[in-house]
Amino acid sequence: SAVISQKPSRDICQRGTSLTIQCQVDSQVTMMFWYRQQPGQSLTLIATANQGSEATYESGFVIDKFPISRPNLTFSTLTVSNMSPEDSSIYLCSAGTSYEQYFGPGTRLTVT
């Protein structure tokens, strides 16, 4: 199995600022994903983080708003840019191989 850690675990930010969330996996994984869970909603995939290349974004999510990096097989970052209160959510990192998928503890973001 793999253990995923995320930093920060929570933050309160002012609108117009940006926050970078880090995701670290304790073993090499093939795929890494970033999800968003808005209050009262289920998880929605933001993008697939690709090692050494641009992330693959889902419909409704753009690189300018959610830039993602993945410099190696065990680490990725998600930046929430120019935040507004609508960005208040839990952001979740997930990582997997062909056989398993693991989840981080999530980052609870509140934008005021």
Partner 1 sequence: KNEVEQSPQNLTAQEGEFITINCSYSVGISALHWLQQHPGGGIVSLFMLSSGKKKHGRLIATINIQEKHSSLHITASHPRDSAVYICAVRLIQGAQKLVFGQGTRLTINP
Question: Which chain residues interact with partner 1 by CB under 8 A?
Answer: 30-31, 33, 37, 41-45, 48, 90, 92, 94, 96, 98, 100-106, 108
Distance, CA of 9 to CA of 5 (rounded, Å): 9
> In terms of CB distance, is 41 or 82 closer to partner 1?
41
Q: How far is the CB of 13 from partner 1 (least distance, A)?
A: 16
The CA–CA distances, whole Å, from 41 to 38, 44, 89 equal 5, 9, 10
Distance, CA of 105 to CA of 74 (rounded, Å): 16
> In terms of CB distance, is 14 or 99 closer to partner 1?
99
Q: How far is the CB of 59 from partner 1 (least distance, A)?
A: 12
> In terms of CB distance, is 31 or 69 closer to partner 1?
31
Q: How far is the CB of 103 from partner 1 (least distance, A)?
A: 4
> In terms of CB distance, is 38 or 72 closer to partner 1?
38
**If we measure between CA atoms, which residue out of 78, 88, 83, 91 comes closest to residue 21?**
78
CB 85 within 8 A of CB 109: no
